[in-house]
Amino acid sequence: MPDHLDNLHEEFRVDTSGRQYQVTVYTEGLKIIGRASWSVDTRSSSRRASDFLHSLPLDRITLAKPHVYDRSSGLIIDEPEFIIVNMQRINAIYAEEQAELES
């Protein structure tokens, strides 16, 4: 491929790398904080993390290394390897990109 076409290809490359998010989920009796990751395209990556999450057509969300808290006492009641949460059981959900948390 000629050099000028290589440069053009690089200029329009779409970033499909996975993004790590810290997600906080509130259900009726639980607060769950865990990590989630999705591959995103350039168009989606310009959105706020929570807006991106709300735009996904998900029935369930899988969170890795979650901390599950009792909402009334604030005590950690479980720390499984992962948890799958039904989106219809969620009262509120918030996400932050891991890079935002580390800066």
Give the tens place of pLDDT for each residue, 5-33.
556 556 655 554 567 889 999 999 999 99
Higher model confidence: residue 55 or residue 88?
A: 88
Query: How many Å apart are CA 100 and CA 67, to the nearest integer?
Result: 20
Give the tens place of pLDDT for each residue, 61-101.
999 999 999 999 999 999 999 999 998 899 998 988 776 54
C-beta of residue 29 within 8 angstroms of C-beta of residue 80: no
pLDDT at 103 > cutoff 50: no
Structural domains for the chain: 3-102 (2.30.30.100)
Residue holding tokens 């993004």? 19
Report the pLDDT averaged over residues 38-51. 62
Give residue 27's pLDDT.
95
